[in-house]
């Protein structure tokens, strides 16, 4: 008896997945547990494994196709077995197209050309005869999009922007890029975000980071150090480790620090859980493993969910300071700039030392400026004090 391969549900919010690459083709023999197909969700790219051993009799979803969770994408059986048929239903697109056709027919009955001002302006610029265009707007009105389509019909293979500019290349947004776009817009539209910036003396941070590196004979990043320090410090600043649900501020018990990792296809935030109680060596090991898995598209849903506070470090790109955007439903995020040499004032003396900018963005609905400022001030004091920093990392 054959088995259906379904689009898996890899997280609470997942509703669909995109087929990226089939590792096998129809007719190939597969073994249970081996990688069958690569899929992309809103958060991760991962492999779906074969649910049984046998022959890959049927592939129902092509590469590049988006499939709802729970829908069959392949069938594994034996030679001579007939795979099930996949019924299709009329889609909303066809209904929309039907509505557009109706509007176009109505427009034909209107002798005077009806077009929006933007459509008329673009048509005039490009020398397009509006009489030859069928409008798809209300009552058959010719829209700017209609003029763009006519331009593309005239110049075969050439794409245009909404303002009539020639397009060199069209790059569809990946599922990850779409999710980043959605979440960033959601973040800015639903939160009262404020950012505080401070320049710190990073001499102690550089010294202690190198000291810890030598002590444990392992490569340590400044982000690793900050994860540990922030996680321990946030225990005494609970409103930065909270979420707002309705009219309730919920302080979260665990301290789970997300680390923003930049990929070619977008940004992903793997999470180090209970970072406040983990030794620095374990944080280093875990953060490096998560970063490698992120770059290899091998993260699982549990590794990118459940964060309570995020750190985003752009120092490796020589960025001094920036305004990080909160990762919903969290209430704060710490942006970290590069460490560079600069004149440093210590008492009444000036010397060459290391400086670094920190940027804390917080949700003003949940906490006030002085609460966020106290956290940032104490974080600065710890990072600038060798003894306190060494104690936080011990």
- Catalytic residue check, 368: yes
Region 278-282: mean pLDDT is 96
Contact 345, 324 (CB under 8 A): no
Catalytic-role residue among 292, 368, 370, 385: 368
Q: What is the mean pLDDT of the chain?
A: 86
d(CA 253, CA 233): 14
* Residue 223 predicted with pLDDT over 90: yes
How is residue 275 written in tokens?
A: 């970072």
Contact 380, 355 (CB under 8 A): no
In the chain, what's the furthest Cα-to-Cα distance? 88
d(CA 230, CA 31): 46
Domains annotated for the chain, with CATH where assigned, are 3-77 (2.40.50.100), 92-167 (4.10.320.10), 176-393 (3.30.559.10)
How is residue 35 written in tokens?
A: 């990688």
Catalytic-role residue among 348, 364, 370, 385: 364
How is residue 141 written in tokens?
A: 């009105």
Range name among 42-46, 83-87, 110-114, 370-374 with the lowest pLDDT average: 110-114
Question: Which one, of 84, 77, 56, 55, lies nearest residue 1 by Cα?
Answer: 77
Question: pLDDT, tens digit, for every residue of 320-350?
Answer: 999 999 999 999 999 999 999 998 888 888 9
Q: Is the pTM above the cut of 0.75?
A: no
């Amino acid at each position: 008896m054959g088995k259906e391969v379904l689009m898996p549900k890899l997280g609470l919010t997942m509703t669909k997945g995109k087929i990226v690459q089939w590792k096998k083709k129809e007719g190939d023999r597969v073994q249970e547990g081996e990688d069958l197909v690569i899929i992309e969700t809103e958060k991760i790219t991962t492999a779906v494994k074969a649910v049984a051993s046998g022959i890959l009799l049927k592939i129902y979803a092509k590469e590049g196709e988006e499939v709802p969770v729970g829908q069959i994408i392949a069938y594994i059986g034996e030679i001579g077995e007939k795979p099930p048929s996949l019924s299709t239903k009329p889609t909303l697109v066809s209904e929309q197209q039907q509505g557009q056709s109706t509007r176009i027919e109505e427009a034909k009955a209107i002798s005077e050309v009806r077009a929006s001002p933007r459509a008329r302006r673009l048509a005039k610029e490009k020398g397009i005869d509006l009489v030859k265009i069928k409008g798809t707007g209300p009552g058959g009105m010719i829209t700017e999009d209609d003029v763009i389509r006519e331009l593309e019909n005239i110049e075969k293979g050439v794409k245009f922007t909404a303002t009539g500019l020639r397009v060199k290349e069209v790059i569809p947004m990946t599922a990850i890029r779409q999710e980043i776009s959605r979440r960033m817009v959601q973040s800015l539209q639903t939160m009262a975000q404020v950012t505080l910036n401070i320049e710190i003396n990073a001499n102690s941070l550089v010294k202690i980071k190198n000291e810890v590196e030598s002590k444990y004979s392992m490569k340590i990043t400044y982000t690793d150090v900050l994860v540990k320090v922030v996680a321990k410090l946030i225990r005494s600043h609970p409103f930065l480790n909270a979420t707002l649900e309705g009219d309730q501020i919920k302080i979260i018990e665990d301290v789970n620090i997300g680390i923003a990792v930049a990929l070619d296809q977008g940004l992903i935030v793997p999470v180090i859980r209970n970072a406040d109680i983990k030794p620095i060596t374990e944080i280093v090991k875990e953060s490096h493993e998560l970063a490698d898995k992120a770059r290899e598209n091998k993260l699982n849903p549990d590794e990118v969910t459940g964060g309570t506070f995020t750190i985003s470090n752009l120092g490796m790109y020589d960025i001094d300071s920036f305004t990080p955007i909160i990762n919903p439903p969290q209430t704060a995020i710490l942006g970290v700039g590069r460490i560079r040499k600069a004149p440093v004032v210590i008492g009444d003396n000036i010397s060459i030392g290391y400086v670094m900018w920190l940027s804390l963005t917080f949700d003003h609905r949940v906490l006030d400026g002085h609460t966020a400022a106290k956290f940032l001030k104490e974080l600065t004091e710890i990072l600038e004090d060798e003894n306190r920093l060494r104690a936080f990392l011990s």
